[in-house]
Amino acid sequence: MLKINTNFQKLPGSYLFSAIAKKIENYKNANPDKDIIRLGIGDVTRPLTKSVIDALHTSVDEMAHEETFRGYAPDLGYSFLREAVAKNDFEKRGCDISADEIFVSDGAKCDSGNIQELFSLDNTVGVCDPVYPVYVDSNVMAGRAGDYIADLSKFSNITYMLCSAENNFAPNLPEVMPDIIYLCFPNNPTGATMKKSELQKWVDAANASKSVIIYDAAYEAYIREDDVPHSIYECNGAKTCAIELRSFSKTAGFTGLRLGYAVVPKDLIMDGCSLHDMWARRHGTKYNGAPYIVQRAGEAVYFAQGQEEVKGLVNYYMQNCDTILNGLKDTNLKLFGGINAPYIWLKTPDNMTGWDFFDFLLEKANVVGTPGEGFGPGGNGYFRLTAFGKHENTVEAVKRIRSVL
Amino acid sequence: MLKINTNFQKLPGSYLFSAIAKKIENYKNANPDKDIIRLGIGDVTRPLTKSVIDALHTSVDEMAHEETFRGYAPDLGYSFLREAVAKNDFEKRGCDISADEIFVSDGAKCDSGNIQELFSLDNTVGVCDPVYPVYVDSNVMAGRAGDYIADLSKFSNITYMLCSAENNFAPNLPEVMPDIIYLCFPNNPTGATMKKSELQKWVDAANASKSVIIYDAAYEAYIREDDVPHSIYECNGAKTCAIELRSFSKTAGFTGLRLGYAVVPKDLIMDGCSLHDMWARRHGTKYNGAPYIVQRAGEAVYFAQGQEEVKGLVNYYMQNCDTILNGLKDTNLKLFGGINAPYIWLKTPDNMTGWDFFDFLLEKANVVGTPGEGFGPGGNGYFRLTAFGKHENTVEAVKRIRSVL
């Protein structure tokens, strides 16, 4: 008789954004005439740029002719893209990462969820609290998280590293380093960053304890301040302790196109094994590469025109951050983030929970954000607004929020 | 200290097709002037068809404009595609499968590798022998396969269901049904099929033992005989015991475009849990949907023109099967398959191993096939040729093989 993976049953409720979608749908059904502005899910709204569109059309035409048709992509990605990534995202920043340490994927969400397969089930896991839910949920499904403690909204085997106003939303180094540490900076959801000197301490501690850091840098393109590292490999010794995950979703608007990559350095030898070789094996066995046309679109982002266009996208969204920060600064909301990340993290008024504030904004202002609790117990009483809306909608949302506070 | 997932170390050697690629590369480096014909890896060679190309261009243009741009796809796939699949692949064949039982993915390889995540690690697993390596390898990585017994080329906890000339390469029902049973028909690599009445016995046995059948129907488009089922849901009771995996790769030449789907019926309740809900949760947490433009390309396959084009592709490749079967029938090779599948499975001459025959054909005829051992110990002494080459290459390959036998 088949036995199911009972770890799935430990997951409380449904995935955050599915739960939010359901709430919005219910509200819309009851109030079909209301115009809702969504600053909730971190999905982009600007169309793909000209370079990317041109690269897609050109490569689609290649697929129409026998001489230029491409079948299976190389498991680990086409060289043209891996080389463009190594050169532009790492070499130009002084990071010694080679093309064959880049593993092209269909996005950082998949990589975030799958990377834990490389590790034994009896490792300890540390996550920032609050944080993007995939790190915890994928470890729960695998059976590494222990049991859910409903009173605390925590799993028994996960170390929750609190990120609060007191530590500028960058966690303190734990007294005992977990074996697997997820860090996401610039952070989703708080928009916080770590300076290079701070991140160096984590790298040193991970090397000392032989822990691995999964560094999610999906938002690095939004960094506007100079002393904030774009890659963990800007720190000395990161190649022996860190995997970095990157995405084209937020950088170049690829949420609907699906492209990302993981960096697994060859120097990353853990427990006597090369994580680079293990990830290559994982890709070879369970993955079949990102579409050729999408990899060509990714390559186009690195050409001179593509780089200019991407800057334009980032500036557009960061202008929304400025609109929200300036528009709400003299209210009773305490605002964080929005300087080096496309997220505004705010303390709810009157000790409301994040879900209460979600319902309040949805019903009174017809504005959707994301309740902080969705990102972990440390998000209780906080709320996330994203900068990914259309500018005119963002202006209107700020006006509406001000009017109901 | 981080501990790795030591199950990875149990995998013998590298992934089959990576090993073959390396052998070819070595031969080419030593013999740069030789013209090698590849009938090895099952990759298509015909360009994408007009309907698909048109759908790609149209949807790429949508992505260029704010009004029609699409961000994140629905986790489980766009309705337009799920509905087209349900109607054309199931309703038209009398199978009662609804659109919301279709889970769109980036291909059957990923689904084949990921589906085992739904099941407890202490289930027993049964696979056809020989068979597509992903089923075993993904269970090894998860820790469900036990230890590798080098003498037998088998894993201790896997039930290998022998497929040989004696049973027409369709396995006998095991005396004790494994909890998880992988069936792939039309079969990769043998090209064998199961008649509906045979498959019905498996469905009945799985329902009786409360086992789950993972039915890989990636090659159903190649079926030419009437009494061969295209879907397991043509059998009574399959909705309570079977998951079906499908692919656009071989049907419509999407190997480089990446699109497939899994069917997980709502009636599939196992161990008290809905596998449909579990797979939805898995998709929601660890996957972000197939690209919009690729889903539109998939939809185009179901329109009248697309269906005609796909028939043309299939006929082109099946003509290659006929060329191989007719061209080699009076040799000392015993030939199987090639009637309802794009694979020819042959018994090597003179009791050569599959790898010996691989080296022999590569060196003497400059033709690449796939050694049977790559698909499991039951493949020893067999060899696979695919019909996915260009027709003129297939004709030439047959000529060369004849000349060296």
> Count of domains in chain A?
2
Same domain for A189 and A116, yes or no, is yes
Rounded Cα–Cα distance for residues B118 and B123 (Å): 11
pLDDT of B89 reads 98
Rounded Cα–Cα distance for residues B232 and B243 (Å): 9
Whether residue A249 is annotated as binding a ligand: the answer is yes
For A:278-337, CB contacts with B below 8 A are: 278, 281-282, 284-294
Distance of residue B388 Cα from the nearest chain A Cα, in angstroms: 11
Same domain for A65 and A213, yes or no, is yes
Per the CB < 8 A criterion, the answer to whether B41 and A72 are in contact is yes
Query: 3-class SS at A331?
Result: coil
Question: B323 is written with which tokens?
Answer: 């060329």
pLDDT tens by residue, A232-273:
999 999 999 999 999 999 999 999 999 999 999 999 999 999
Task: Enumerate residues 6+ apart whose C-beta is below 8 A from A283.
Answer: A75, A76, A103, A105
For A:29-68, CB contacts with B below 8 A are: 41, 43-48, 50, 53, 56-57, 60-61, 63-66
Same domain for B299 and B394, yes or no, is no
Query: 3-class SS at B246?
Result: strand
Helices and strands (H and E) in chain A: how many: 12, 17
Rounded Cα–Cα distance for residues B348 and B381 (Å): 6
Whether residue B135 is annotated as binding a ligand: the answer is no
Rounded Cα–Cα distance for residues B112 and B137 (Å): 10
Distance of residue A231 Cα from the nearest chain B Cα, in angstroms: 22
pLDDT of A14 reads 65
Same domain for A23 and A71, yes or no, is no
CB contact under 8 Å between A2 and B56, yes or no, is: no
pLDDT of A21 reads 86
Neighbour-count burial of A395, counting CB atoms closer than 10 A to its CB (0-12 exposed, 13-18 middle, 19+ buried): middle
CB contact under 8 Å between B286 and A109, yes or no, is: yes
Rounded Cα–Cα distance for residues A192 and A223 (Å): 10
Rounded Cα–Cα distance for residues A77 and A67 (Å): 21
Question: B333 is written with which tokens?
Answer: 């090779």
Q: Select the residue of B75, B113, B122 nearest A286 (Cβ to Cβ).
A: B113
pLDDT of B14 reads 66
Distance of residue B389 Cα from the nearest chain A Cα, in angstroms: 12
pLDDT of B383 reads 97
pLDDT tens by residue, A346-401:
999 999 999 999 999 999 999 999 999 999 999 999 999 999 999 999 999 999 99
Domain end marker among A273, A303, A333: A303
CB contact under 8 Å between A284 and B18, yes or no, is: yes
User: Is a pLDDT exceeding 70 seen at residue B340?
Assistant: yes
pLDDT tens by residue, B193-212:
999 999 999 999 999 999 99
CB contact under 8 Å between B47 and A69, yes or no, is: yes
Same domain for B70 and B24, yes or no, is no
Instruction: Establish if B338 touches chain A: CB-CB under 8 angstroms.
Output: no
Largest CA distance in chain A: 66
Q: Which residues of A touch B48 (CB under 8 A)?
A: 63-64, 69
The pairing of strands A260-263 and A102-105 is antiparallel
In a domain, B227, yes or no: yes
In a domain, A379, yes or no: yes
Give the domain CATH number at B332: 3.90.1150.10
Averaged pLDDT for residues B324-339? 97
Neighbours of A6 (CB within 10 A): 12
Same domain for A80 and A216, yes or no, is yes
Largest CA distance in chain B: 66
Mean pLDDT of chain A: 96
- Burial of B73-86, coded b for 16+ CB within 10 Å and e otherwise, reads bebbbbeebbbbbb
Question: A34 is written with which tokens?
Answer: 């209301």
Tell me A14's DSSP state.
S
Query: 3-class SS at A289?
Result: coil
Helices (H), A229-287: 249-252, 275-286
Tell me A235's DSSP state.
S
pLDDT of A15 reads 65
In a domain, A6, yes or no: no
Determine phi and psi for A245, rounding to 5 degrees. Answer: -110, 135
Give, in degrees to the nearest 5, the angle at Cα B374 between B373 and B376. Answer: 60
Find the closest chain A residue to B292 by CA distance.
A256
Averaged pLDDT for residues A159-185? 97
Helices (H), B8-133: 16-30, 50-62, 79-85, 108-114
Per the CB < 8 A criterion, the answer to whether A333 and A2 are in contact is no
In a domain, B3, yes or no: no
Q: Which residues of B touch A75 (CB under 8 A)?
A: 18
Domain end marker among A274, A303, A332: A303
In a domain, B380, yes or no: yes
Rounded Cα–Cα distance for residues A328 and A349 (Å): 12
Rounded Cα–Cα distance for residues B321 and B328 (Å): 11
Give the domain CATH number at B131: 3.40.640.10
Same domain for B311 and B295, yes or no, is no
In a domain, A109, yes or no: yes
Same domain for B294 and B190, yes or no, is yes
Rounded Cα–Cα distance for residues A268 and A244 (Å): 12
Rounded Cα–Cα distance for residues B276 and B107 (Å): 18
Mean pLDDT of chain B: 96
Instruction: Establish if A390 touches chain B: CB-CB under 8 angstroms.
Output: yes
Domain that holds residue B193: 53-304
Instruction: Establish if B252 touches chain A: CB-CB under 8 angstroms.
Output: no
Rounded Cα–Cα distance for residues A98 and A86 (Å): 6
Helices (H), A247-390: 249-252, 275-286, 292-300, 304-328, 354-360
pLDDT of A119 reads 98
In a domain, A210, yes or no: yes
Domain end marker among B237, B270, B304: B304
Same domain for A355 and A391, yes or no, is yes
For B:125-144, CB contacts with A below 8 A are: 133-134, 137-138, 141
Residues of chain B with pLDDT > 90, as a percent, come to 96
Same domain for A140 and A261, yes or no, is yes
Give the H or E element holding residue B263. Answer: strand B260-263
Same domain for A252 and A354, yes or no, is no
CB contact under 8 Å between B109 and A286, yes or no, is: yes
Whether residue A288 is annotated as binding a ligand: the answer is yes
Whether residue A334 is annotated as binding a ligand: the answer is no
Question: Which residues face B149 on adjacent strands?
Answer: B154
User: Is a pLDDT exceeding 80 seen at residue B18?
Assistant: no
B327 closest CA partner among B283, B237, B391: B391
CB pairs under 8 A between A and B: 250
Q: Select the residue of A9, A270, A286 nearest B138 (Cβ to Cβ).
A: A286
How is A141-201 classified by DSSP, letter by letter?
HHT-S--EETTTTEETTEEEEE--GGGTT-PPPPSS--SEEEEESS-TTT-----HHHHHH
CB contact under 8 Å between B291 and A60, yes or no, is: no
Determine phi and psi for B168, rounding to 5 degrees. Answer: 55, 30
Determine phi and psi for A336, rounding to 5 degrees. Answer: -135, 165
Q: How far is residue B364 from each of residues B27, B34, B93, B243, measured CA to CA in Å? A: 12, 11, 46, 43
Question: A162 is written with which tokens?
Answer: 């609190």
Residues of chain A with pLDDT > 90, as a percent, come to 96
Rounded Cα–Cα distance for residues B389 and B317 (Å): 8
In a domain, A1, yes or no: no
Whether residue A207 is annotated as binding a ligand: the answer is no
Averaged pLDDT for residues A49-53? 98
Instruction: Establish if B21 touches chain A: CB-CB under 8 angstroms.
Output: no
Q: What is the gyration radius of the CA atoms in chain A, in angstroms?
A: 21
pLDDT tens by residue, B212-239:
999 999 999 999 999 999 999 999 999 9
Instruction: To the nearest 10°, report the CA torsion of B302, B307, B309, B310.
Output: 90
Q: What is the gyration radius of the CA atoms in chain B, in angstroms?
A: 21
Same domain for B298 and B211, yes or no, is yes
Tell me B189's DSSP state.
T
